[in-house]
Structures are given as C-alpha cells and as structure tokens.
Amino acid sequence: MIRKVTGAALAAAGLAALLAGCSHPPMPAPVTHRISPTAMVEAIRAARANDKSVLEITPLRDPNVNGFLDGAHADENAGKYQDALAKVDKALKLSPNSPDILQFRAEIEVLLKDFPAADADARRSWVLGSKVGGLCASNWQTVLEIAQSKNDQAGVQTARKARDACTEPPQPSF
C-alpha cells in the first residue's frame, strides 16, 4: 500500500531535520585534573615546611589528644585513611578549636578525596589560627590544591595570593 505524502507532513519532516541539524552536542563534563591526593598532601605539607618566616609554637595539649593524633599518623602511613580520620575526629572532640588538628583533618580528607570538607576545614583552621607562618601557608595550599583539581583558575590565584601573604618578610639586620 502506497501512501500519499502531503505537503504539511513533508514540511514538518523537513523542519524536524533542520532543527536536529542545529542542535548542539552535549556539554562536556568539567575538566578535573588528575592530581593524586597523595601528591596534593605532599605539596600542602611542603608549603608548611618551607615557610620558616616565623617562629612556630606548639601548644601544650591533653595527652589523650596526642595519643589520638599519633594513632592517626600511624593509620595514615598504613593507608588507613578512614581510620585516621576517625582518630582525628576524636582528637577534635577533646580540642575542638585547634587549628593544627583541623588542618591535619583537611589533609586526611584530601587523601579521602572529600574536597569540600577539606576546603572547609582548611579555611576554618586559618580563621582560628595564625595569619602568618607554616600553618597559614598549608591552609591556603590546601585550598589551592583543591582549586587546581577543579581547574578553578580564579580560586587558584586567590589561594596563591593568600598563601604568599602568610610569609613574613625578613627583618632587616642592623
């Protein structure tokens, strides 16, 4: 059986073909740089170690806090990041406003690829901590590493500027 194609049907088919030809391909997913979390944490810790512009003072703390942190470091070294995070959380319950513990937590969260939590903890550590020195530099290096992983160039520039502001210029010698 042969059907007659009407002008309206032909026009509709032509319009559909024309519109299909004008459609855009789907947008690609945002580019995420494949930086290993371990390399990110190494860069974060290097920022702290390389900043010798101020004298850093280690606070006295509850021996239980130190015990939890020692356990967390051991778990981290063994690759047990979830266990390390649990121990850091226990330390934070005993010392909730400790900037260095918050930064350590941010580093473990980077290893767990929980970048939003790591960013939030690094920023909170900065708010509670010194605005100069190694801890400050590691706070902002954390933010920088996360911004780089998301290819957020504006975030990278902002974090780099903030990190560089953590270094005190050398005092003139007389």
Angle at which helices 115-128 and 99-111 cross, to 10°: 170
pLDDT at 54 over 80: no
- The residue range of the domain holding 51 is 37-164
14 assigned to some structural domain: no
115 assigned to some structural domain: yes
73 assigned to some structural domain: yes
Predicted confidence at residue 61, as pLDDT, reads 84
55 assigned to some structural domain: yes
Tell me the mean pLDDT in the region 145-163.
97
42 assigned to some structural domain: yes
Each residue's pLDDT tens digit, 65-87: 999 999 999 999 999 999 999 99
**What's phi and psi for 10, nearest 5 deg?**
-65, -40
10 assigned to some structural domain: no
Predicted confidence at residue 29, as pLDDT, reads 46
Predicted confidence at residue 167, as pLDDT, reads 87
Pairwise CA distance, residues 17 & 19, whole Å: 6
Task: Give the position of tokens 């979830």.
Answer: 82
Task: Give the position of tokens 């590493």.
Answer: 145
Predicted confidence at residue 26, as pLDDT, reads 47
Each residue's pLDDT tens digit, 15-40: 555 555 554 444 444 445 568 999 99
Pairwise CA distance, residues 34 & 70, whole Å: 30
State the DSSP H helix or E strand holding residue 110, giving kind and residue range, or none if neither. helix 99-111
CATH classification of the domain holding 145: 1.25.40.10
Is the full-model pTM beyond 0.85? no
Pairwise CA distance, residues 173 & 76, whole Å: 42
127 assigned to some structural domain: yes
Least confident stretch, 58-62, 97-101, 135-139, 165-169: 58-62
Residue 172: left if φ>0, alpha if ψ -120 to 50, beta else—which one? beta
Structural domain count, the chain: 1
3 assigned to some structural domain: no
